[in-house]
Chain A
Amino acid sequence: MTTTLATTAHAASTGVLREIYERMLERPLPPTYRPAHGGAPGIVVAHSLEPRLIPKVFATSSTLNGAGPLAWPERELVNATTSRLNQCLY
């Protein structure tokens, strides 16, 4: 699938980006968030033009999505509402 800005998928990645993708795949993640294609999720790949940003963005995610006090369904509600208002349909 062609994107508006260039991306590099896991299978085509090399060097620093490859290492970062590999580290991302080792993160503890609920199975429902793991894409069936087995590679990095699209939102991670979306950051591939700036590989060193990826650990910073998703380290933040771990602090917000891996802990309370909001419960998982409440967090998903916040995320879905935010996305709907921003008209992000990813």
Chain B
Amino acid sequence: MASQFSEAPPSLRSGVVRPGFRVDPRLLWAIGIALLLLPLFTAESYRLFQLTLAAIYAIAILGLNLVTGYNGQISLGHGAFYAVGAYVAAIMLDKLSLPWWSTLPAAAVICGIVGWGIGRPALRLGGLYLALTTFSLAVAVPQILKYKGIEDWTGGVQGVLVTKPDAPFGLPLDVDQFLYLVTVGIALGVFVLARNLMASRIGRAMMAIRDHALAAEAMGMDIANLKTATFAVSAMITGLAGALSAIAVEFVSPDSFQATLSITLFVGMVVGGVASIIGPIFGGLFVVFVPNLAEEISKSAPGVIYGCILIAFLFVLPGGVAGLLRRLPALLRRR
């Protein structure tokens, strides 16, 4: 996965731009934001809920992509952080009656700490073994959530019910529209931050560690701390998505956080595009809308279709949708 390095820095790139291929970035931003706002007026509330969910998954997948795609630490257990975030939000809302917006930073911070705690021992493992260990975390999560000793807080098997917040200041929005706006706004913020992070010195160090740890260490990078910090930041972002999901779904229970959730996030990452910032957007849309589609192709085995799509992507489009988009101009020009 060395594709990121094919992009030359902007100063070089401007020299080889072909006429007619340059679009004012401000125009792109305007079009993008208009597209994001469009469903507010056109979509009915269930469709809006699905789009909210897609945005939440996009955030979660972005978190996974930072640690797995950019830093090369394969995690199959990010559903655990998603679950922790969701439970933190649900407990704060239901048991402590705190305002909804306070749950988001709290979930992020707690997940960051948990992520640090998992990222430390994870340093000992690379590649497949890390994947298996994090997968065992994903498998253990529902059992831990059902544990009797913490039932007063987590509600045990029954889970916790929460309600969506109303729009403040008398805004003319219903709960679904408001939540969509909040989610998309947060997603936008997180994506911009992640893009800036990956364009920074730290971001380049993260990729250098993935591509050649020895060389990175020789250049003076503190590999252990950087890898652990990446794990923590990644867990933070995914936990934030989990908190949003608890508010959007209005319910958390151990069975919503089975190991399949972690696998879903992984599939979304691969399909959207590994080590890509915009990839997780497509990943989020994929994991929300394609299972329904797969069910239409074959009623009896949507999971088989899902797995086949994943393998097909790895074989044909290893860069995912984002990789395809990146190559599209070149492919069109060749015609």
A binds B: no
* B interface residue numbers (CB < 8 A to A): none
